[in-house]
Structure 1
């Protein structure tokens, strides 16, 4: 093509003039390429049913067909003309100018406009958004997508440098994946329970191997050994994958309901009762939803107005959670997200925006729920509440730290304003609902009913009932088990001692954020609190302040000893571990032993922190410190549970001191064992040591397996060379 002006000037000029197309009709914008014209004219007229391939195997017949094809095509074209059939469609109207085509194009343009209007501007600054689903990827996915081009360019340069410029690798070697996350990146799966148990068993086997070798010549104090967890996790508090042990919280509610003459005290919500609803619990339970967020907003508001009318109430509080970054509730929220195969992030922006097909996954993301409540408040305040609320009715909606009051006045006017007395810094709706309940009671309501199925809310209601200026009810349960509980009557029957200890008891024996004791349910703890005033006082002391005092921890140790069957007022948790371990009547599972004192201290700090949050439910802005150092640790911006602060085993077990003395009898300070005042063991590399078990039978050529075999026969904990054990327990060890 570069030499075309010299080799074929006429062709070059024709191409420059645009003569590489052909016009077969008088239509505008109807030129087609020359090769396409040949296909549509000559080749079409000379075409046979099978083409050249397969119509004949006779070489002469094929040659005759090639020589006469153009004449046959001309005859075919002339026949069409004689018959009055114009296959070129000489109409002057272009097909894109027909009425049908213009109608269809107009419909397509309107559809595109509707989609763009619904999804918004995809080029506006902010998070990356999937244009089809409006899903927002996680921060790690966005980071990888932004860096994809740079990573690819670097990979190309590395390929050229290593495989083409130098002989570092063969050009045919397999390329390594960059492993960048995308929108379709699968949710991170939790480690299976079987794999977690295998890891725990492997750790125990390794520790046992060390103990077997050491026990040949070194005295091991079992009392000291059991002051440690002997593993990276306290198995009485943590599962093998590092998540907290869970318990059946609802058992505590069932036990507290079993109060004589109180269960039948309330059959329904009294008329005129103020209503307080856990917003997120209600929204998560929705199953039949309309297709758009605007319709969902209207449906929820109609349901709330229906509740006001049916109970003849004038006030309803719609209370939602906040979602902080380093929240102690993050572990429970992560487990919900894993249970629903990860969450999806989607901005809620427009009333006509379609809701996600998987509503449960959408509701596992805290940012989604925050956007949703904000969207509801905006829609209700703008027009929906004014149309649906009856005169004299008001709805309070929490959005962040603020609470909006939507009120339809008796004169028909509608107002939307912020209620300053309800601005608070509470994260959980569990505590914030009681602030709203107290506000409604102080504003003239004689009773309040809280809609919640959570045991946490029931426990808080019993604990705070004495501070609330009115009767408190709770609507709980589902379907046939749906019931109304008179919390005030139940609290009066239980008494102030038990009610005052419930918050500490519930936090200490396991809740959403705090681990439970493996195999120890709520029933045992409640029985101890009801029957022992000292233990009730120990649980009541939890949460008095965010900083836990030593006296409170002593009470926690006494409670744990009683929980695991100790009699009297013992508070020696480590001693109880040793006693239960040595109990020959039962084969003890490590999970059935109480945690060591160090693990229990971290657990008590976490329980005290949670109890302090619950006890400050009636304060608008409690002075809540960071959970860092309160049984949790913030690492790389992520809150993690601190299970242990001390070593998992004594130092002499972990260090496994051994020497490699080539000469001498290991009696100098150059010997690591002698320097640590420890006898040598079979894992030592010394050859002429007199302190190693079975040393008289060892030679320089003896293998490690033989030395272990000999030492097992000739040396034991109770050999003549060992010091006399301190007591029978040590001798048994």
Structure 2
């Protein structure tokens, strides 16, 4: 009866809520001192256990390792939201955090409005949480199984076939059309079928006799993405050290062996048709590329993000442009091109600006320019089957430009 009265009176309920824990503690202490009840419960804090402390020190160790690898995030001067596991959070997460306070105020204002317009609304009615996940990806919707899709296609095909027979339709015309949204001959659940293009190179190599040594050439054209992938850093270091110790010595070697060296990078646009294909390898770790920022330990995961490719490509192009080389080195930077500071005789107007997005085709813009400049031999260093096929098709026209 007494409890029911407390629940009915808001002021009595508040006093009971405030004094209740203290009264409970005093009662427990009295029972322990008087011997009525043995004190079996430990008076230590719930985190003062060996397991919790071991987990805490492990997390501190991991945090220290991440900050040593990625650098101090508090020295960043940008509008991006930084997280310690991915360096730069997705813009959607930054937007959620920036508007989270406003959403909380909207909940509170809605609660106060309900108090004023509803007689039976209590001040103790809870405000619903804004259940928002900031730093995790949205769960992917479950796709239908292959068997279920085949059954649905079969049922649809059966109904259409029966309707054609009842309506005396032309069955030859009926069988000319697909009975599903995505042609099975071209796609799998809406995704285009892929193949192993490198198998074509084996077929082409079987038709010719390959030289035992690397041939000499006046001009070397290098696929920049292949260069960055093959000269991947082995241990975390700054991007300045990566350029100075790994990439620039390689470029210096090229310039001494060839009269001209061109390094071609891809250009990445958000609206590109290639964006869908580039997203297939999965989510990448986003990281800013500056001279003092650390290179990632997982290089392949880093290069899955198009922005992670654009920034180091531009960074390396600027570093190459600062070099002093005996022979000219041309490097693309976005749609433009730059050359080493020691050479001012190279005319870049015929190769830049260039709207080619893929290095596969832009390589041959530079190849044609080199042929018209009078160079006699040219070699392309790449690991892409598309470049091999394009090179074979364009070889006659390049020979005419050289002559």
Q: Give the TM-score normalised by structure 1.
A: 0.41
2:311 to 362, 371, 396: 371
Distance in 2 (CA, whole Å) between partners of 1:426 and 1:396 is: 16
Name the structure 1 match of 2:136. Answer: 185
Distance in 2 (CA, whole Å) between partners of 1:257 and 1:169 is: 81
Instruction: For residue 421 of structure 1, give the secondary structure of its aligned residue in structure 2.
Output: coil
Is 2:87 aligned against 1:135?
yes
TM-aligned CA distance change 1:417 to 1:142, over 3 Å: farther
Shift of 1:334: 1.1
Instruction: For residue 378 of structure 2, give the secondary structure of its aligned residue in structure 1.
Output: strand
Distance in 2 (CA, whole Å) between partners of 1:190 and 1:209 is: 29
Name the structure 2 match of 1:334. Answer: 279
Name the structure 2 match of 1:275. Answer: 220
Q: Give the TM-score normalised by structure 2.
A: 0.71
Name the structure 1 match of 2:191. Answer: 243
Shift of 1:432: 0.8
Instruction: For residue 135 of structure 1, give the secondary structure of its aligned residue in structure 2.
Output: coil
Name the structure 2 match of 1:445. Answer: 375
Shift of 1:308: 4.0
- 1:94-153 CA-partner distances (Å, limit 9, x unpaired): xxxxxxxxxxxxxxxxx99x966x86454x5x4x23064673333433332322222222
Is 2:132 aligned against 1:201?
no
- 1:257-277 CA-partner distances (Å, limit 9, x unpaired): 222xx323x233333432111
Distance in 1 (CA, whole Å) between partners of 2:385 and 2:336 is: 26
Name the structure 1 match of 2:348. Answer: 419
TM-aligned CA distance change 1:318 to 1:158, over 3 Å: same
* Structure with greater Cα Rg: 1
1:398 to 325, 332, 351: 332
TM-aligned CA distance change 1:218 to 1:270, over 3 Å: closer
Name the structure 1 match of 2:288. Answer: 347
Judge conservation of contact 2:255–2:328 (CA < 8 Å) in 1.
no
Distance in 2 (CA, whole Å) between partners of 1:229 and 1:169 is: 61
Distance in 2 (CA, whole Å) between partners of 1:198 and 1:326 is: 34
Shift of 1:354: 0.9
Instruction: For residue 183 of structure 2, give the secondary structure of its aligned residue in structure 1.
Output: coil
2:172 to 216, 223, 226: 223
TM-aligned CA distance change 1:55 to 1:148, over 3 Å: closer
Judge conservation of contact 1:276–1:433 (CA < 8 Å) in 2.
yes
Gapped regions of structure 1 (runs ≥ 5): 1-51, 60-110, 410-414, 473-733
Instruction: For residue 399 of structure 2, give the secondary structure of its aligned residue in structure 1.
Output: coil
Distance in 1 (CA, whole Å) between partners of 2:76 and 2:346 is: 31
TM-aligned CA distance change 1:306 to 1:211, over 3 Å: same
TM-aligned CA distance change 1:232 to 1:442, over 3 Å: same
Distance in 2 (CA, whole Å) between partners of 1:237 and 1:56 is: 81
Where does 1:114-513 land on structure 2 (aligned, <5 Å)? Answer: 120-122=75-77, 124=78, 126=79, 128-130=80-82, 132=84, 135-161=87-113, 166=118, 175=128, 177-180=130-133, 182=134, 184-186=135-137, 189=140, 195-198=144-147, 200-208=149-157, 210-211=159-160, 214=163, 217-240=166-189, 242-259=190-207, 262-264=208-210, 266-285=211-230, 286=232, 288-298=234-244, 299-309=246-256, 312-336=257-281, 338=282, 342-349=283-290, 351-382=291-322, 385-386=323-324, 389=325, 392-406=326-340, 408=342, 419-423=348-352, 424-469=354-399
Distance in 2 (CA, whole Å) between partners of 1:380 and 1:133 is: 31
Gapped regions of structure 2 (runs ≥ 5): 1-28, 37-66
TM-aligned CA distance change 1:155 to 1:445, over 3 Å: same
Distance in 1 (CA, whole Å) between partners of 2:347 and 2:81 is: 33
Judge conservation of contact 1:442–1:469 (CA < 8 Å) in 2.
no
Distance in 1 (CA, whole Å) between partners of 2:329 and 2:167 is: 73
Bigger drift between 450-459 and 357-366 goes to: 357-366
- 1:486-533 CA-partner distances (Å, limit 9, x unpaired): xxxxxxxxxxxxxxxxxxxxxxxxxxxxxxxxxxxxxxxxxxxxxxxx
Number of aligned positions between the proteins: 339
TM-aligned CA distance change 1:213 to 1:469, over 3 Å: closer
TM-aligned CA distance change 1:191 to 1:58, over 3 Å: closer
TM-aligned CA distance change 1:402 to 1:430, over 3 Å: same
Shift of 1:303: 1.8
Judge conservation of contact 1:438–1:469 (CA < 8 Å) in 2.
no
Judge conservation of contact 2:260–2:327 (CA < 8 Å) in 1.
yes
Distance in 2 (CA, whole Å) between partners of 1:140 and 1:278 is: 33
Judge conservation of contact 1:447–1:471 (CA < 8 Å) in 2.
no
Judge conservation of contact 2:331–2:339 (CA < 8 Å) in 1.
yes
Where does 1:66-105 land on structure 2 (aligned, <5 Å)? Answer: none
Instruction: For residue 317 of structure 1, give the secondary structure of its aligned residue in structure 2.
Output: strand
Distance in 2 (CA, whole Å) between partners of 1:398 and 1:432 is: 10
Judge conservation of contact 1:347–1:368 (CA < 8 Å) in 2.
yes
Instruction: For residue 450 of structure 1, give the secondary structure of its aligned residue in structure 2.
Output: strand
Shift of 1:170: 12
Shift of 1:435: 1.3
Distance in 2 (CA, whole Å) between partners of 1:367 and 1:433 is: 21
Shift of 1:316: 1.6
Judge conservation of contact 1:404–1:416 (CA < 8 Å) in 2.
no
Distance in 1 (CA, whole Å) between partners of 2:96 and 2:136 is: 11
